[in-house]
Amino acid sequence: MLLALALLPLAASAAVTPAPGKDCHLPGTEEALRCLRVDVPLNYKQAGATLSLHVAVAPALRESARRDPLFLLAGGPGEAGSDLVPLLNASFRKVRATRDIVLIDQRGTGLSGKLDCPSDEPNEETISEEKALADARDCIKSLNKPYADYTTEAAARDIDLVRKKLGYAQINLWGGSYGSRLAQTYARLFPEHVRAMVLDGVAAPDQIVPAGGRDAQAALDKLFQQCSENQPCARAFPALRSEFASIVAALNKAPLMLELPDPRTAEMRQVRMTSNRFLGTVHNILYSQADSRRLPFLIHSAYQNRWQPFIARSNVARDFAADAGPAMPLHLAVVCAEDYPRLTPALLAEDTRDSFLGKPQIERIGALCETMHVPAVPWTTPSKIEAPVLLMSGALDPVTPPRRAEAAKQYMTHAQHLIVSNGGHIVSQLGCGPRLLREFLDLPDKPVAAECLKEIPAPTFQLNSAGPQP
């Protein structure tokens, strides 16, 4: 049965009717896409209010496109499908030759009624964490939204209404990070409509999102080890571990007030470096294998009290556009209902033991969950997914390493797992990845020949202000 479904799209196909909607232009691409609005119930258990979802379709490049598109499911939770538009010409350029690519702004993100808390603080870098927490609570209350309706299951049901609206009988799914959880949820709710799935940076069904201390520390330890085994890096930063520990110990005692040039105005201003900001930036850097190779230099510079490079990297995550970035309240709506209720004191203690991500960083989410007032979503043992699945992991991923994909694989009948040794979080775009996506989707029951992934090199370390080594 599965083989028949896999071979069906290979038959000759007629020209495809253009997707409904109208031409639109989204940031990240110069070409016109097809955009439409799809109304969905706010609450699937009761009639009444609706939400308007923004959907964009990147039509297949060939006229004789196959009738099983690829739906892209963004991560976070809190990212929008439209945030993935820049990947159309990178990760998905091979797939798009013969398939439509569909991007949905998940309810509460992007152009689908984004739940947002933009800061009105002119000097975010100087406010205390207590003030930042109070501001977030005030925003959550002021939005006055039924956060209990913004669950992963509701988003999965939205996907099926979009599928119907676009007239597809079966679809393929690509889910990155949290998007992999959403994809798995959809596959279990609507198995008859799933042809195949690619899950990159796989969130296991039993994974508790805030509990990331163990995986983060493992990624940092691997980075330190790689630096020590790399002669130029080891020579430039011989005391990297102790320097990192010294910075953490100092910031745990008290925040550090720095006076640095403002990146926008060049005027001197104070910057408040706290333990949470420092460790949060380190964690963020570890997501990218290329970016992580800058971390030894950034740590060493900060240890020598030259904080400018570290502050500059910390500010990368702060986009100057007010509506940019993930939807924080949507993130909380999901995590506070589906993850945090399962975070027991014993699990928290085990996860943070000997990790640079300690209890304070994780418990901050709990402080905001008290304001969200969302009921816990009970966790149940997942049913088996019968559709073919390609799991992809980066060995250096600090949040969804290969062990998470292996845990998810236990609940899949036809799954194969590819690991990129020199990859971090999300690896579809690396090396031969785009070609492998196309090959898998064309023949999802056939093993993927992934030897080429071993050819993806490790980026060079940055040793000084001049940038990475040649």
Short-list 203, 171, 168, 165, CA closest to 184: 203
Say what the pLDDT of residue 132 is. 80
Distance CA 322, CA 327 (A): 12
Report the pLDDT averaged over residues 63-87: 93
- 124 or 191, higher pLDDT: 191
Architecture of the CATH domain 2-115+150-206+379-455: 3-Layer(aba) Sandwich (3.40)
**H helical segments located in 144-267:** 152-166, 178-189, 213-229, 231-236, 240-253
Residue 19's pLDDT is 63
Answer with the residue of higher pLDDT: 275 or 267: 275
pLDDT one-digit tens code per residue, 150-203: 999 999 999 999 999 999 999 999 999 999 999 999 999 999 999 999 999 999
Q: CA-to-CA distance for 333 and 115, rounded, in angstroms?
A: 10
Q: How far is CA 168 from the centre of its chain?
A: 26
Q: Does the pLDDT at position 362 exceed 60?
A: yes
Average pLDDT over residues 31-39: 94
pLDDT score at 17: 56
Residue 320 pLDDT class (50, 70, 90 cuts): very low
Domain boundaries, the chain: 2-115+150-206+379-455, 213-319
Nearest Cα to Cα of residue 101 among 336, 410, 401, 437: 437
Residue 106 has pLDDT above 50, yes or no: yes
Average pLDDT over residues 286-308: 95
Average pLDDT, the chain: 90
Q: How far, in Å, are 92, 102, 344 from residue 88 at the CA level?
A: 5, 10, 40
Identify the three-state secondary structure at position 82: helix
pLDDT in tens, 410-455: 999 999 999 999 999 999 999 999 999 999 999 999 999 999 999 9
Q: Tell me the CB-side half-sphere exposure of residue 254, using CA atoms within 13 A.
A: 3
Residue 290: HSE in the Cβ half-sphere, 13 Å Cα cutoff: 8
HSE-CB of 187 using CA atoms within 13 angstroms: 30
**pLDDT of res. 420:** 97
pLDDT, residue 12, reads 35
Residue 300 has pLDDT above 90, yes or no: yes
Q: Is 205 left (phi over 0), alpha (psi -120 to 50) or beta?
A: alpha
pLDDT at 321: 40
